[in-house]
Amino acid sequence: MNFGGVFVFEDVSIAIPLGKVTACIGPNGAGKTTIINIVCGAFPPKAGEIFLDGVRLKGIRPFDTVRHGLCRSFQDVRIFPSLTALENVLVAMPEQRGERIGGLFFRGARVQERANRDKARRLLQAVALESAAERPAGELPFGQQKLLSLLRAVATGARVLLLDEPAAGAEADLIPRVVDLIRSLVKAEGRATFLVEHNIDLVRQIADRVYVLQGGRIIAAGDVQRVLDDETVIREYLGRVYDA
Amino acid sequence: MMLEVRGISVAYGAFEVLHRVNIVVGERHIVGLFGHNGAGKSSLLKGIYGVLQVRSGSVTFAGEETTNDRPFRQAMRGMRFVPQEGNVFPNLTVEDNLRMGALRLAGDDSVHAARFEDVYETFPILRERRRARAQVLSGGERQMLALSIALMTRPKLLLLDEPSAGLAPILVERIFETIRVIRDRFGMSVLLVEQNVNEALRIIDEVCVLEEGRVVFTGAASEKDLIVRHLWRLSNMSHRSS
C-alpha cells in the first residue's frame, strides 16, 4: 500500500473472527486506520486480498459497506449534528420506510417504523443516553457524541464492526458503557469486531487477540497479556509495563 | 493573575451547561480541569475564548476584561485555544499549517525559522512529514500539529482540550512533559481539560473539578487523593444512573 508517496504497508495479514474482539494497537502513524480504510474500499490495496466469510471482497465502495455487512466508526465524530440523538440512531438502522417504494404505501412499513423507534430507544438506554434522545446530537458533550457514533455503527446490524478509537476523547466514566455495549450487543450476538485503540485498559477488558502494528508491519500478535509483556512492544509503544 | 473567570454562565439555546463558574489561572501555572462527561469542561474553554457566548459573568485576561470578545481578538492578545476537533487545516501541508499559526508573528525570517526549529525538535515526526498534507497525518500526529500551531506565537495562555486524546501511551507521557517544558521555557499559563488524570497530575499545579456545570472542587494538585476521590464519586454516580 502506497499513501501520498509514503509507504504504509508491507505484507500485512489479519484475521477477524466472528464473536471475538480483535484489537489493533501501535504507534501513531503505524497504519491502523489505513487498514480500516482499505477494508471499506476507501482506497485499493496495491497487492493482497480481503475476504469476508470466505468470499473475496472486490470493488467494494465506502457507501456500500453496510450492505456487505461491514460498518466502521471514525476517530473523529461523524454524526448528523442537527438531528436528535434518537434520529441519528434511527437513520443508521436497516429496513427504512423509504427504502422500497411499497413501504411508502403499506401499513406493514409503519409497524416496522415503530419497531425501529422502540429499538433505537432501547439502544440509547443501553448506553444511558436516553436523556439525550431528543437533543440535537451536535449539542451533546464530545464523549456522548462519540458514544452515539459507536451506537450508530452497532445499530446498522452489520456483522463486522471496524471501530476506530471509540474511547479517544471519552471520559473515564464512559468507558464502562463502551465495554458493556461491545460485550452485550456485539460479542454476545456473534458479531466480529476490529478495534483500533490506544486505551490499553479498554483493550485489556474486551479484546481476545491483539495485533501490534508498527511502520506498516505486524511486530507482535497474540493474546492480550502476552503482547503487553512483549519487550519490543513496551519499548516502542507502551513506554511502561502494564501488569496483569 | 493571567486569567480570571467570575461567575460565568453558558448555554446552548435554553439548555444551560455552566452555572456561574469561577476559575483563576495564575501566571506560569498549569491548571487542570477535570470532571465526568457533560460536566461542561469544553464549554468552559469555549466560553473563555469567545466561541460560545457567555450569558453572565466576566472573563479577565492579563488584567483586561475580554468577556465575549471574538476568538481572533483573544488570539491577538496572546490566548490560544486548541480544540478537540477541527484543529488543523486538512488541505494544507504541515509546514503551511505552522505558517498559519505564525501569521501574526513579528520579526524577520530568522525568528520564524527558530520557531519552526523549536517545533520540529519537540516533535521530530512533524519534520519528517512537513511536506505532507495534514489530512494524511495519523490522529496522533494531528494532535501534535494542532498543539504546535498554537505554540508558534508563544502565547501567554494556552487553552487545551484533551491534548492526549488519540495518542499512543508512550506519547501521552511525552506530551505532558512537553507542556511542562514549554511552560518552563516560555513562561506561559495553561488551562487543560484532560481524561488522563493520573498522567496529567504530574505536571498540574492546581485542579478544578466540574460537576454538571458547577465547580465542586478547587485545590492544589498535591491533594491528589482528594481529587481522585471526587472523580471516583462522580463516575460511580454516573454509573449508578446508567
B178 three-class SS = helix
**Which residues are within 8 A (CB) of A30 and not within 5 positions of it... i.e. 6 or more apart?**
A213, A214, A215, A216, B138
> Which residues does chain A have within 8 Å of residue B167's beta carbon, measured at their own beta carbons?
28, 198
Per the CB < 8 Å rule, is B241 touching A128?
Answer: yes
Per the CB < 8 Å rule, is A238 touching B235?
Answer: no
Per the CB < 8 Å rule, is A169 touching B162?
Answer: yes
From first to last of the 242 residues of chain B, give the pLDDT tens digit: 999 999 999 998 888 999 999 999 999 999 999 988 889 999 999 999 999 999 999 999 999 999 999 999 999 999 999 998 889 999 999 999 999 988 877 777 788 888 899 889 888 889 999 999 998 887 778 888 999 999 898 899 999 999 988 888 888 888 898 899 889 988 999 999 998 888 899 999 999 999 999 999 898 888 877 777 777 666 655 444 33
- Residue A1 confidence (pLDDT) above 80: no
Q: Among all chains, which residue has been given the C-alpha cell 440512531? A: A89
The alpha-carbon gap from A19 to the nearest alpha carbon of chain B, in Å, equals: 25
Select the residue of B13, B166, B169 nearest A168 (Cβ to Cβ). B166
Instruction: Name which residue leads in pLDDT, B5 or A215.
Output: B5
Full DSSP string of chain A:
-EETTEE--SS------TTSEEEEE-STTSSHHHHHHHHTTSS--SS---EETTEE--S--GGGTGGGTEEE--SS----TTSBHHHHHHHHSSS-GGGSGGGGT-HHHHHHHHHHHHHHHHHHHHTT-GGGTTSBGGGS-HHHHHHHHHHHHHHTT-SEEEEE-TTTT--GGGHHHHHHHIIIIIITTT-EEEEE-S-HHHHHHH-SEEEEEETTEEEEEESHHHHHH-HHHIIIIISS----
Best B91, B127, B170 member to test A by mutation, with max A CBs in 10 Å, is B170
Angle, CA A133 vertex, CA A198 and CA B197 arms, to 5°: 30
Average pLDDT for A218-226: 92
| Gap between the Cα atoms of B44 and B23, Å rounded | 10
- Residue A4 confidence (pLDDT) above 60: no
Q: Among all chains, which residue has been given the C-alpha cell 451506537? A: A151
- Amino acid sitting at position B128: E
Per the CB < 8 Å rule, is B195 touching A198?
Answer: no
Q: pLDDT over 70 for what percent of chain A?
A: 90
Q: Under a CB-based contact definition with an 8 Å cutoff, are residues B237 and B209 in contact? A: no
Q: pLDDT over 90 for what percent of chain A?
A: 47
ipTM for the predicted complex: 0.73
The alpha-carbon gap from A233 to the nearest alpha carbon of chain B, in Å, equals: 10
The pTM for the full model equals: 0.81
What count of CB pairs under 8 Å joins A to B? 103
